[in-house]
A and B are shown apart, each in its own frame.
Chain A
């Protein structure tokens, strides 16, 4: 999953990016509204964490312009806690709202919920045959037995599972799983897929040649 964090306080931005990356997300960062808008419009993020008080273009303005083209889930993050601000944030197209200072666990849970809802899933447990994915704890079991996956493997599996029945192109996977700082080779993706198949069974992920990968529904 790839997430954009827009926040003008550099320390907070750095910390948020770090926390999200440790959760297995690919994270892009922006320190102002213009930069954030450019990135949000260029890439298909799974979620955007957006501060309101931003230099150049504030959170309201950025969200308004983003909503003209994109339905990317947006979590607004701000120190303004007046209820009018929350209402305005939600009405102007934000999907959720969190007031600073926030609890990191809550932020991560809200981001997970945003991504899940955006993919059309409402439960945090995904069951595909014998394979069960717990998106909350980021664990996978095969016929009740825990299976250890690397963060990247888990991310690929979760993305494919969330988009069950769809063909996910390699580009999609790149875009959603690697952030701009990743310097990955394309065949690395094949390595991860191979590894997943080895751990969870070869039938789980099918390859559509020339199109991408798919978990059959």
Chain B
């Protein structure tokens, strides 16, 4: 039921489209937001990573540890200033040293075995005073102790007695990049080639994992775990440098953004649906009005019309069209009603005559001649009724389109001549002269019917003429048309009657028609016949001067 209403269907489709649109938009916005966030973090991390790497490089370059130069790692860096770490992997790999590259050296594809921590044993003694804020990893930590020193204390491996590698130290500018008092801020960690913690900011997370020694192509790598986002690189001289940051604020912002998106989307969806429900209702209201008006009309109130308030939109046009249809229907209906009433009236009058004639005669004893007179009157009236009913039936057949016109070729001139001949005696009786001017006018159709029309026209011309009057009948043909003109110089037809004379039961002069026994259907039947033939019957008249009827029939094209 609900889904059958146009309004609901419209709304469901709209909801579907709106949801698709909102989801697409929301996903895109979220992705953009996330990418932007990641990009920012990445940029920040890269800046710090390169700074740290620069420091590391300068440290290791400026004081290369004795006996162990950085070249054995195949990596060289800018030199961090103070500490240097020996590269313990000399015994393990022996690769060329690109010497003067920065941290992007990690681009260089290299595979390293995971160094074993005892190669790191010669890390230099720590200098705790210089950088108390970060732990200085000792390269000689115990092999089982790969974990960073939480407290930032120097972690001297007690089980080793090898010389310590030089302490790493970051410059103040670099350290400024890390707010180590803030656990949410950036942190860093540096591991020696053997995996020892060498440097670690105090705010680094406890569970920080050592960077895998496997070097991957593509520059600094990133990784996330938990709320942390980290970037690391493998320094040329084997150090693994990591810079990270808690992205909890970003994640919170992201969640907030998602919530905001969902809320906004919901509001837009609800508002859109409400608005379109209202709009659809508003748009469909004229339809309801039209429907209501149409049902009132179908209930029998044919004079009802649809209120055409807005004629400039589609529904207004529809309403106007419907209204004009209703008007035509109403007028057709009225015409039919009028016709029925008239027919009923025309039949009632002869009935009244017959009944009152019979009752009057039967009221008292009569002589034979009186009875005869009554019976004759009844017979005449009955004949009149028969004629009327036949005419009505004929009209009804034409109305319903059941009357088939037999199309046989004939000449209107012959037909007109016949008709004029038939009516000669009537004309003489009325002292009217018939003139004929007939030239060939071939056409096709039902000759009997057309003769009926012509007889009707000529007898009308005789009836409504004056004494010593004249009726002129002519036929001719033009291209595609056969024409008969019946012209009289009689009384003529008043202008106000002229448009009505083809209407059923219309009588311009009622007294005369009734007296002559005419039903008022003659011309209506003529018109129906001519219409059925696809022809035209027209009239012009001037009161006091005469009337001209013109019958035009389509002529066959081959003549």
Q: Which residues of A come within 8 Å of B, CB atoms?
A: 8-12, 15-16, 18-19, 22, 31-32, 53-56, 79-82, 99-105, 107
Q: Are A104 and B363 closer than 8 Å at their CB atoms?
A: yes
Task: Indicate if B359 sits at the interface (CB-CB under 8 A).
Answer: yes
A11 neighbours in B (Cβ, 8 Å):
353, 357, 377, 380-381
A99 neighbours in B (Cβ, 8 Å):
348
Q: Which of B341, B357, B364, B512 is close to A15, meaning CB atoms less than 8 Å apart?
A: B357
Determine how close the nearest CB of chain A comes to the CB of B224; give it in whole angstroms: 93
Q: Which of B356, B364, B511 is close to A12, meaning CB atoms less than 8 Å apart?
A: B356
List the 6 closest A-B pairs by CB distance, nearest first. Answer: A55-B511, A79-B348, A104-B359, A55-B510, A101-B352, A100-B352
Q: Which one of B356, B381, B509 has the greatest number of beta carbons of chain A within 10 Å? A: B356
Task: Indicate if B540 sits at the interface (CB-CB under 8 A).
Answer: no
Determine how close the nearest CB of chain A comes to the CB of B521; give it in whole angstroms: 16
Q: Which of B352, B360, B363, B381 is close to A102, meaning CB atoms less than 8 Å apart?
A: B352
* Known contacts A54-B510, A55-B510, A104 near B355 by CB under 8 Å: yes
Closest to A100 in B: B352
B353 neighbours in A (Cβ, 8 Å):
9, 11-12, 15
Q: Are B345 and A15 closer than 8 Å at their CB atoms?
A: no
B359 neighbours in A (Cβ, 8 Å):
19, 103-105
Q: Are A100 and B364 closer than 8 Å at their CB atoms?
A: no
Q: Which of B346, B360, B380 is close to A104, meaning CB atoms less than 8 Å apart?
A: B360
Q: Are B511 and A53 closer than 8 Å at their CB atoms?
A: no
* Known contacts A53-B345, A80-B341, A80-B345, A22 near B364 by CB under 8 Å: yes
Q: Which of B341, B348, B360, B511 is close to A100, meaning CB atoms less than 8 Å apart?
A: B348
Q: Which one of A9, A12, A22 has the greatest number of beta carbons of chain B within 10 Å? A: A12
Q: Are A10 and B515 closer than 8 Å at their CB atoms?
A: yes
Q: Are B355 and A53 closer than 8 Å at their CB atoms?
A: no
* Known contacts A11-B353, A11-B381, A100-B352, A56 near B511 by CB under 8 Å: yes
Complex-state Cα separation, A55 to B345, whole angstroms: 15
Determine how close the nearest CB of chain B comes to the CB of A51; give it in whole angstroms: 9
A18 neighbours in B (Cβ, 8 Å):
360
* Known contacts A11-B377, A22-B363, A80-B341, A103 near B355 by CB under 8 Å: yes
Q: Are A104 and B356 closer than 8 Å at their CB atoms?
A: yes
* 12 pairs from A and B in contact (CB 8 Å cutoff): A8-B510, A9-B353, A10-B515, A11-B380, A15-B353, A19-B360, A79-B346, A81-B344, A82-B341, A100-B351, A102-B356, A105-B359
Q: Which one of B341, B346, B509 has the greatest number of beta carbons of chain A within 10 Å? A: B341
Q: Are A15 and B515 closer than 8 Å at their CB atoms?
A: no
Determine how close the nearest CB of chain B comes to the CB of A6; give it in whole angstroms: 12
Bitwise interface map of B from 344 to 377 toward A, beta carbon under 8 Å scored 1, else 0: 1110111111111101100110000000000001
Q: Which residues of B come within 8 Å of A, CB atoms?
A: 341, 344-346, 348-357, 359-360, 363-364, 377, 380-381, 509-512, 514-515
B351 neighbours in A (Cβ, 8 Å):
100-101
Complex-state Cα separation, A103 to B151, whole angstroms: 132
Q: Are A79 and B511 closer than 8 Å at their CB atoms?
A: no
Q: Which of A16, A22, A32, A79 is close to B356, meaning CB atoms less than 8 Å apart?
A: A16
Q: Are B514 and A9 closer than 8 Å at their CB atoms?
A: yes
Determine how close the nearest CB of chain A comes to the CB of B73; give it in whole angstroms: 119
B512 neighbours in A (Cβ, 8 Å):
55
A56 neighbours in B (Cβ, 8 Å):
511
A100 neighbours in B (Cβ, 8 Å):
348-349, 351-352
* Known contacts A19-B363, A105-B359, A8 near B514 by CB under 8 Å: yes
Determine how close the nearest CB of chain B comes to the CB of A106; give it in whole angstroms: 10
* Known contacts A9-B514, A11-B377, A18-B360, A101 near B509 by CB under 8 Å: no
Complex-state Cα separation, A15 to B377, whole angstroms: 10
Q: Are A101 and B355 closer than 8 Å at their CB atoms?
A: yes
A54 neighbours in B (Cβ, 8 Å):
510
Complex-state Cα separation, A11 to B379, whole angstroms: 12
Known: A15-B356, A105-B359, A107-B356. 11 other contacts (CB 8 A): A8-B510, A8-B514, A12-B349, A15-B353, A16-B356, A19-B359, A22-B364, A55-B509, A79-B346, A100-B352, A104-B355
B380 neighbours in A (Cβ, 8 Å):
11
Determine how close the nearest CB of chain A comes to the CB of B506; give it in whole angstroms: 13
Complex-state Cα separation, A10 to B509, whole angstroms: 15
A82 neighbours in B (Cβ, 8 Å):
341
Closest to B381 in A: A11
Complex-state Cα separation, A103 to B380, whole angstroms: 20
Complex-state Cα separation, A104 to B356, whole angstroms: 6
Closest to A85 in B: B341
Complex-state Cα separation, A61 to B512, whole angstroms: 20
Q: Are A15 and B348 closer than 8 Å at their CB atoms?
A: no
Complex-state Cα separation, A11 to B350, whole angstroms: 9
Complex-state Cα separation, A9 to B516, whole angstroms: 10
Q: Are B360 and A22 closer than 8 Å at their CB atoms?
A: yes
Q: Are A79 and B510 closer than 8 Å at their CB atoms?
A: no
Complex-state Cα separation, A79 to B348, whole angstroms: 6
Q: Are A102 and B345 closer than 8 Å at their CB atoms?
A: no
Q: Are B510 and A102 closer than 8 Å at their CB atoms?
A: no
B345 neighbours in A (Cβ, 8 Å):
53, 79-80
Q: Are A102 and B341 closer than 8 Å at their CB atoms?
A: no
Closest to A98 in B: B352
Complex-state Cα separation, A100 to B381, whole angstroms: 15
Determine how close the nearest CB of chain A comes to the CB of B378; give it in whole angstroms: 10
A19 neighbours in B (Cβ, 8 Å):
356, 359-360, 363
Complex-state Cα separation, A19 to B344, whole angstroms: 25
Q: Are A79 and B515 closer than 8 Å at their CB atoms?
A: no
Closest to A11 in B: B353
Determine how close the nearest CB of chain B comes to the CB of A209; give it in whole angstroms: 39
Q: Are A8 and B355 closer than 8 Å at their CB atoms?
A: no
Q: Are A79 and B363 closer than 8 Å at their CB atoms?
A: no
B514 neighbours in A (Cβ, 8 Å):
8-10, 55
Complex-state Cα separation, A18 to B356, whole angstroms: 10
Complex-state Cα separation, A82 to B354, whole angstroms: 22
Closest to B509 in A: A55
B381 neighbours in A (Cβ, 8 Å):
11
Determine how close the nearest CB of chain B comes to the CB of A211; give it in whole angstroms: 37
* Known contacts A8-B514, A55-B510, A103-B355, A79 near B344 by CB under 8 Å: yes
Complex-state Cα separation, A48 to B492, whole angstroms: 35
Complex-state Cα separation, A102 to B349, whole angstroms: 10
Q: Are B356 and A31 closer than 8 Å at their CB atoms?
A: no
Complex-state Cα separation, A102 to B354, whole angstroms: 10
Closest to A14 in B: B377
Q: Are B509 and A12 closer than 8 Å at their CB atoms?
A: no
